[in-house]
C-alpha cells in the first residue's frame, strides 16, 4: 500500500519473491528531506548466491539467508545511515576446498551509525570449525575487533593436505 501525503511517501507494506526467497518491508520517505528516510526490510530463505549478483565481489558461498534490517537516514549513502541488522544463514557452503567442511550456519547482529559498525554478535560454524567475532569496525577497517577461531585439527588438516593430525586448535586475534 503506497501513499503520498504532504511530500511524504509511505509504502506501508511491500512484499516480493526475490533472490529465490521472500522479501517484505516498509518505507517512509520525506521527499524534501531524504536524510530522514526509514526503511524496514525482512528477508526469508533468500539465496546467498543470488545476492552476490548485487555486489561487485563474488565469494562463491551458497546457502539460505534470513535477515532483518532497520535503517534510518539517507539511504543513498547506506554506510552512513543508522541501522540495525540481524542475519542468520543456514546450509552455508564455503567456496573451493573449504566446501569439504560441509554445510554451516552464520548468525550475526550489528548496529551501524555514520560509518561505524558495532558487531554485537557474530558466530559462524561448520563441522569442526567455529568462528566468533565481536567489536567495532569502520569503513576504513577494524577499530577494536576481536576474532576467535576454534577447530578440530583432524577435520581441518585434510584441507591443507595433511592426513595424520589430531587435537583441537584455538586462534584469538584482536585487530585495531
Q: How far apart are CA 136 and CA 132, in angstroms?
A: 13
What pLDDT is recorded for position 52?
Answer: 85
In this predicted model, which residue has the larger pLDDT, 67 or 138? Answer: 67
Q: What is the pTM of this model?
A: 0.84
Question: For the residues 147-154, what does the mean pLDDT come to?
Answer: 94
pLDDT at 8: 92
Q: CB under 8 Å to 42, separation ≥6 — which residues?
A: 23, 24, 25, 67, 68, 69
The pLDDT of residue 119 = 94
pLDDT tens for 51-76 read 888 776 788 899 999 999 999 999 88
The DSSP-derived string for 46-93 is EEHHHHHTTSS-----EEEEEEEEEEES-TTSGGGSEEEEEEEEEEEE
User: Residue 56: which region, alpha, beta or left (left: phi > 0; alpha: psi -120 to 50)?
Assistant: alpha
- Residue 146: band (very low, low, confident or very high) from pLDDT cuts 50, 70, 90: very high
Residue 134 pLDDT grade (very low, low, confident, very high; cuts 50, 70, 90): very high
Is residue 173's pLDDT more than 80?
A: yes
pLDDT digits (tens, 9 = 90+) for 10-59: 999 999 999 999 999 999 999 999 999 999 999 999 999 988 887 767 88
Percent of the chain at pLDDT > 70 equals 99
Amino acid at each position: 500500500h503506497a501513499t503520498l501525503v504532504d511530500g511524504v511517501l509511505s509504502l506501508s507494506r511491500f512484499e516480493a519473491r526475490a533472490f529465490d526467497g521472500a522479501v517484505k518491508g516498509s518505507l517512509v520517505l520525506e521527499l524534501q528531506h531524504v536524510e530522514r528516510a526509514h526503511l524496514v526490510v525482512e528477508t526469508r530463505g533468500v539465496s546467498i548466491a543470488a545476492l552476490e549478483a548485487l555486489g561487485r565481489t563474488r565469494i562463491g558461498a551458497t546457502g539460505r539467508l534470513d535477515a532483518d534490517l532497520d535503517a534510518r537516514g539517507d539511504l543513498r549513502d547506506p554506510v552512513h545511515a543508522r541501522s540495525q541488522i540481524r542475519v542468520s544463514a543456514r546450509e552455508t557452503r564455503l567456496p573451493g576446498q573449504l566446501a569439504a567442511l560441509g554445510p554451516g550456519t552464520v548468525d550475526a547482529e550489528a548496529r551501524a551509525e555514520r560509518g561505524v559498525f558495532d558487531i554485537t554478535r557474530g558466530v559462524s560454524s561448520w563441522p569442526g570449525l567455529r568462528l566468533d567475532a565481536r567489536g567495532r569496525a569502520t569503513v576504513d577497517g577494524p577499530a577494536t575487533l576481536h576474532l576467535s577461531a576454534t577447530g578440530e585439527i583432524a577435520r581441518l588438516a585434510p584441507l591443507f593436505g595433511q592426513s595424520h593430525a589430531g587435537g583441537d586448535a584455538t586462534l584469538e586475534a584482536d585487530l585495531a
